[in-house]
Amino acid sequence: MVVKLENSLIKEWRGYKGRPFLISGPCSAETEEQVMETAKQLALLTEVSVFRAGIWKPRTRPNSFEGVGSEGLKWLRRVKQETGLLVGTEVANEKHVYEALKYGIDMLWIGARTSVNPFTVQEISDALSGVDVMVLVKNPINPDLELWIGAIERIARAGITRIEAIDRELATNEKTEDRNQANCQLPIELRRRCSELPII
């Protein structure tokens, strides 16, 4: 099946300020001060369209920093109010979606550890039904094009029209200098199968 998207051109997205569509911010929101200072600096760069920060961080092992949680959504709302930037964060389940929408988050992304699970993506999709937000979908942690397309299709079926794929390098167990390895064939094939889909 080929994913068919309506109104998927990035130039039609709210917040678009010209090519490239810049999304910037800290990997993790750690403190309100860190978030606000970073946002204020980025707001000075007129090309930045979306301020992003990880609120929930999926970690392999317990007792690792898993993000500040919902408290950080208040900080993102403040960023939006004080800088005018659109704001985004990663969601990993339907509860995250509801929390993020409650605080007016403009852009959600589905991470590589979440896009690998069709049940979780379906729950997120159900929570997004009837909502007007941007949704970015990372390629799954294992190089499976069907899983990636399946996640995108589930989000599209919820009525989301502003969808973008994120091609993230893949983790590997091989001993190399780089933590992640590029797999260029995956986004090339995604482009062939879903020609209208924007890809980061």
Name the pTM for this structure: 0.86
Angle among Cα 108, 109, 112 to the nearest 5 degrees reads 160
Cβ-based burial of 109 (10 A; exposed 0-12, middle 13-18, buried ≥19): buried
In terms of pLDDT, which residue wins out, 83 or 2?
83
pLDDT category of residue 118 using cuts at 50, 70 and 90:
very high
Task: Judge whether 78 and 36 are in contact, CB under 8 Å.
Answer: yes
What's the average model confidence in pLDDT over 41-46? 93
> pLDDT tens across 163-185, in order?
999 997 765 556 666 555 666 78
| The pLDDT of residue 195 | 85
Residue 20 burial by CB count (10 A; 0-12/13-18/19+): exposed, middle or buried? exposed
Residue ranges and CATH numbers for the domains of the chain are 10-193 (3.20.20.70)
Q: Hey, is 87 helix, strand or coil? A: strand
Q: What is the pLDDT of residues 142-160, one digit of tens each?
A: 889 999 999 999 999 999 9
> Residues 139, 84: contact at Cβ < 8 Å?
no
